[in-house]
């Protein structure tokens, strides 16, 4: 099984083009499944090694039952997805004849509505940044860019100056699966990027063009997703906004505010870079005030 897992890893990297983070998670989940089989002495072949041909639906159910005692549904669902993908690959590659997981369903996930900022809170956050130094200029550019484009935090930290077209007011981002898309940028966000570029030229003597990273840390290196999360947390706290969100919350806010202002769901899907419209529907929701207003206006007995 160990050798087949490595072959599957190569398949994920070269043909599925999964992210390094996803690959690490999948390999960790499969290694855990293999360890369970070995420790319980299940499906062992010659040399006491796990033989994938002996894995059946009952073995998989026993493994899932062992996880259910101390793990959330989301964690179990991810581990099951890793195993399902592995066995689908084995069938396609001719390593096994039948998929033992065909009749096993993933646990139903709860889908709570994501926390978002109100429009007033978004403006309060963005307008309330006090500029005392270079990092404050950067932070303002980060927050304005988030709210203006709705990009993922990974797309923001991966942004290069060559990706920004100030004349057309657009930016090119590289999303999941290395899919490229074009996103419009508002003039306010563009101006904060211009101001920030002047700071970079002055502080680090950077050209701000080509493959140079846009958002840097205080050492002049490309910033990280964790650092960006700290930027969001810091300025939410300073602004006194009670809503607890991270970078993804600004993405939710971007989508929700567009939807509440009448933007078409398909347009929002394109802007967010979602492959499926159902994903966009999960990330956007109408606020209660708007629902009530529409109901009062439309229902004949309201």
Query: Which one from 63, 89, 147, 283 is the annotated catalytic residue?
Result: 283
Reported as a single tens digit per residue, the pLDDT across 30-67 is: 999 888 888 888 878 776 788 888 888 898 888 888 88
Q: Give Cβ neighbours of residue 204 (< 8 Å, ≥ 6 apart).
A: 216, 220
Reduced to 3 states (helix: H, G, I; strand: E, B; else coil), residue 212 is coil
The arithmetic mean of pLDDT across residues 66-90, rounded, is 83
pLDDT at 30: 92
The arithmetic mean of pLDDT across residues 108-116, rounded, is 70
| Annotation says 252 is catalytic | no
Assigned token pair, 141: 């550019």
pLDDT at 283: 62
Assigned token pair, 115: 């926390």
Query: Which one from 79, 140, 257, 274 is the annotated catalytic residue?
Result: 274
pLDDT at 210: 83
Reduced to 3 states (helix: H, G, I; strand: E, B; else coil), residue 40 is coil
pLDDT at 138: 96
pLDDT at 63: 87
- Mean pLDDT, all residues of the chain: 87
| Annotation says 274 is catalytic | yes
| Annotation says 152 is catalytic | yes
Query: Which one from 71, 176, 181, 285 is the annotated catalytic residue?
Result: 176
| Annotation says 285 is catalytic | no
pLDDT at 215: 95
Q: Which domains does the chain have, with CATH numbers?
A: 2-92 (1.10.150), 119-294 (1.10.443.10)
Say whether pLDDT at 158 is over 90. Answer: yes
Query: Do 169 and 187 touch, CB atoms closer than 8 A?
Result: yes
**Poorest-confidence range of 101-115, 133-147, 164-178?**
101-115
pLDDT at 265: 86
Query: Which one from 79, 152, 235, 257 is the annotated catalytic residue?
Result: 152
| Annotation says 235 is catalytic | no
Query: Which one from 79, 251, 252, 257 is the annotated catalytic residue?
Result: 251
Question: 109: pLDDT confidence band, cut at 50, 70 and 90?
Answer: low
Reported as a single tens digit per residue, the pLDDT across 236-293 is: 999 999 888 999 999 999 998 998 888 888 888 999 988 888 777 766 665 555 656 6
Query: Which one from 11, 53, 248, 285 is the annotated catalytic residue?
Result: 248
């Amino acid at each position: 099984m160990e050798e087949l897992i490595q072959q599957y890893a190569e398949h994920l990297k070269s043909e599925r083009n999964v992210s390094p983070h996803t690959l690490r998670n999948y390999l960790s989940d499969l290694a855990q499944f293999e360890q369970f089989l070995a420790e319980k002495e299940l499906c062992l072949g010659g040399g006491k090694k796990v033989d994938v041909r002996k894995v059946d639906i009952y073995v998989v159910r026993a493994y899932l039952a062992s996880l259910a005692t101390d793990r959330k549904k989301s964690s179990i669902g991810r581990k099951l997805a890793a195993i399902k993908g592995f066995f689908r690959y084995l069938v396609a590659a001719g390593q096994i004849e039948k998929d033992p997981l065909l009749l096993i369903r993933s646990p139903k996930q709860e889908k709570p509505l994501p926390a978002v900022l109100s429009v007033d809170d978004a403006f309060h956050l963005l307008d309330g940044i006090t500029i005392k130094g270079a990092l404050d200029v950067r932070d303002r550019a980060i927050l304005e860019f988030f709210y203006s484009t709705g990009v993922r935090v990974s797309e923001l930290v991966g942004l290069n100056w060559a990706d920004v077209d100030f004349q057309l007011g657009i930016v090119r981002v590289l999303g999941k699966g290395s899919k490229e898309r074009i996103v419009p940028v508002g003039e306010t966000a563009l101006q904060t990027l211009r101001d920030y570029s002047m700071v970079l030229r002055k502080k680090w003597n950077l050209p701000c063009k080509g493959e140079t990273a846009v958002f840097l840390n205080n050492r002049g290196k490309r910033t990280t997703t964790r650092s960006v999360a700290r930027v969001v947390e810091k300025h939410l706290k300073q602004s006194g906004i009670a809503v607890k969100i991270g970078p993804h919350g600004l993405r939710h806010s971007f989508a929700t505010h567009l939807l509440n202002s009448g933007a078409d769901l398909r347009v929002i899907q394109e802007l967010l870079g979602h492959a499926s419209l159902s994903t966009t529907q999960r990330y956007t929701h109408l606020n209660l005030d708007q629902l009530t207003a529409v109901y009062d206006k439309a229902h004949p007995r309201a």
